[in-house]
Amino acid sequence: MLMKIRRSCFPGVTVTMLLLVFHTANGQQTNWDSTARPDVYAPRVGLMKTFRHSRKDIVFLGNSITFWAEWSEFLENRHVKNRGIPGDNSFGVLERLGEVTNGKPAKIFVMIGINDLARNIPAEILLKNFQRIVRRIKTESPDTRIYLQTLLPTNDSFHKMTNHCNKDAVIRDVNLGLDQLAKDEKVSFVDLYSHFADEKGKLKKELTWDGVHLTAEGYLLWAAVLKRGKYLR
């Protein structure tokens, strides 16, 4: 069941979003509000709208895991731009995607979804939003190369971020879906998960400080994977 809600994030702009009720395969009902945004969302998007764009930009698009990296430093490339917003989800990325595509960047690296899962948004809906993101980028900025990065594993042993952890199976399902989506849409798939997961499928302890967010070692590994894969050339 879908319930439409009209909401305005910025003066003069009205966005129709959805309050969704989803029935799982076993008949259980899950509810979530696709309009949910962190408090920092509107001011961050407002700030981003003041930034200059270049067709040489390499945009990292995501949530707090993306936000907390100094990407231009890690990747030694002044064209790398950070478009992460703490607490953001796939619906938020769709809402603000125009700020990115209007600049017609050279590349967009997307990692989003752990906050969706923390809000019990089903994998099917998250993957549909990924498809919408990809197709909008193709339409609005057809020369931009798209890179779908896997969700990272989490680690519940820190006893923090409890809504985000213990999603191991669904994270793997989403990542399998992203791999197939990348093939179907003929975009690049970046497997980060296998580099960050331990033998039990948990985020390696040395790479995180709370079970979700990354240490410096985690970001250095992420950058190394991208460099070895020659994704930045």
What is the tens place of the pLDDT at every residue in 31-71? 778 999 999 999 999 999 999 999 999 999 999 999 999 99
Please, are residues 110 and 58 in contact by the beta-carbon 8 Å criterion?
Answer: no
Q: Chain centroid to CA 223: how far? A: 16
CA pair distance 17, 189, nearest whole angstrom: 28
Predicted local distance difference test score (pLDDT) of residue 233? 86
Report the predicted TM-score, pTM, of the whole model to 2 decimal places: 0.88
CA pair distance 24, 11, nearest whole angstrom: 37
Predicted local distance difference test score (pLDDT) of residue 14? 39
Question: pLDDT band at 26, cuts 50/70/90?
Answer: low
CA pair distance 194, 88, nearest whole angstrom: 24
pLDDT of residue 213 exceeding 60: yes
Question: pLDDT band at 141, cuts 50/70/90?
Answer: very high
CATH of region 37-228: 3.40.50.1110
Nearest to 101 by CA among 138, 67, 128, 71: 138
Residues 6 or more apart whose Cβ sits within 8 Å of residue 96: 45, 48, 85
Round the average pLDDT of the chain to a whole number and report it: 90
Domain coordinates in residue numbering, the chain: 37-228
Mean pLDDT (whole number) for 142-161: 98
